[in-house]
């Protein structure tokens, strides 16, 4: 089936540290890939997306590259801020059809000053 | 448009009672989804509507759950005879087919969710 696996948290970093959150997906079909973010007390927000191999999604300093050869979509940020503290969800959706999205279990990021 | 709205934000109910949640999607989105999220987990798919048609239901959606979208706009999710295991955040999301192609999902816009606590 379609699934997404992401690294377990929590991840604790100091401000301005480099962030990587690993995500791998099952290679069924030609999925689109997403990262969603959930800030404390808020709903999920789409952070970035990539729709085909080698695409790079980027937003708010975050980046993720669609790697078909490794079936990965790792999230990176060069310098995290305290305001980036949130739970990050990797997700996939099959192209075509009705775009049902399958989510990973989430990785909690805590950035300390 | 202010995005996807869900009502209520919080609901506490006694076991065995029925509850109903409402979702108002973004007006131009014809696709609507319900998900459930428990603590420490990612959202799990419950059901999907395209316009007023319910096109898929997860096996997570037992007979006690029913969802409707009668006019292809707002949707309701009803849980009958609630159980403590139903306690979760119920999320609604909407989306539209990206203009010109069905091969590039745009991603969902989520509501803030309804947190259900069954005591």
- pLDDT of B91-118, one tens digit each? 999 987 653 344 445 678 899 999 999 9
- pLDDT of A32-41, one tens digit each? 899 999 998 8
Q: What does the alpha-carbon distance between residue A95 and residue A97 come to, in Å, rounded to a whole number?
A: 7
**pLDDT at residue B104 in the model:** 47
In a mutational test of the B interface, the residue from A31, A41, A100, A108 whose CB has the highest number of chain B CBs within 10 Å is: A100
**pLDDT at residue A1 in the model:** 66
8 Å CB contact between A35 and A76: no
Q: What does the alpha-carbon distance between residue B95 and residue A24 come to, in Å, rounded to a whole number?
A: 24
**pLDDT at residue B28 in the model:** 85
3-state secondary structure B69-81: CCCCCCEEEEECC
- Residue among A46, A104, A105 whose CB faces B107 most closely: A46
Instruction: Provide the β-strand partners of residue A35.
Output: A48, A90
Place of tokens 């279990």: A105
Could you tell me which chain B residue has the CA closest to the CA of A35? B107
CA dist list (Å): A66 to A22, A45, A51, A63: 12, 19, 8, 10
**pLDDT at residue A26 in the model:** 87
Could you tell me which chain B residue has the CA closest to the CA of A93? B105
Q: Which residues of chain B have pLDDT under 50?
A: 99-104
Q: What does the alpha-carbon distance between residue B119 and residue B111 come to, in Å, rounded to a whole number?
A: 24
Q: What separation, in Å, do the N-terminal and C-terminal C-alpha atoms of chain B show?
A: 35
Q: Which residues of chain A have pLDDT under 50?
A: none
In a mutational test of the A interface, the residue from B24, B43, B93, B102 whose CB has the highest number of chain A CBs within 10 Å is: B43
Q: What is the CA angle A49-A10-A88, rounded to 5?
A: 15
Which tokens is A63 given?
């980046």
**pLDDT at residue B81 in the model:** 97
Cα dihedral across residues A23, A26, A27, A28: positive or negative? negative
Q: What does the alpha-carbon distance between residue B91 and residue A91 come to, in Å, rounded to a whole number?
A: 15
- What burial class does residue A48 get, using C-beta atoms within 10 Å of its C-beta: 0-12 exposed, 13-18 middle, 19+ buried? buried
Q: Which residues of A touch B (CB under 8 A)?
A: 4, 30, 32, 34, 36, 42-46, 49, 51, 89, 91, 93, 95-106
Q: Select from B118, B95, B104 the least CA-distant residue to B34.
A: B95
Q: Select from A97, A90, A98 the least CA-distant residue to A3.
A: A90
Give the H/E segment covering residue A103: strand A101-103
Q: What does the alpha-carbon distance between residue A99 and residue A47 come to, in Å, rounded to a whole number?
A: 17
């Amino acid at each position: 089936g379609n699934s997404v696996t992401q690294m377990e948290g929590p991840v604790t970093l100091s401000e301005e540290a480099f962030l990587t959150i690993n995500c791998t997906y099952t290679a069924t079909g030609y999925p689109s890939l997403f990262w969603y973010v959930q800030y404390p007390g808020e709903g999920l927000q789409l952070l970035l997306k990539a729709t085909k191999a080698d695409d790079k999604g980027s937003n708010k300093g975050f980046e993720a590259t669609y790697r078909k050869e490794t079936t990965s979509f790792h999230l990176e940020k060069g310098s995290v801020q305290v305001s980036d503290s949130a739970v990050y969800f990797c997700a996939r959706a099959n192209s075509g059809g009705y775009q049902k999205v399958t989510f990973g279990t989430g990785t909690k990021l805590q950035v300390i000053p | 448009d202010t995005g996807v709205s869900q009502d209520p934000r919080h609901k506490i109910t006694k076991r065995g009672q029925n509850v109903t949640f409402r979702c108002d999607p973004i007006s131009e989105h014809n696709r609507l989804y319900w998900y459930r999220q428990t603590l420490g987990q990612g959202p799990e798919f419950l059901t999907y509507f395209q316009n007023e048609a319910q096109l898929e239901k997860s096996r997570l959606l037992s007979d006690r759950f029913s969802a409707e979208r009668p006019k292809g706009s707002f949707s309701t999710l009803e849980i009958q005879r609630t159980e403590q295991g139903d306690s979760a955040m119920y999320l609604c999301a909407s989306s539209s087919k990206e203009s010109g192609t069905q091969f590039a999902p745009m991603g969902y816009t989520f509501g803030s969710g309804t947190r259900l606590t069954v005591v």
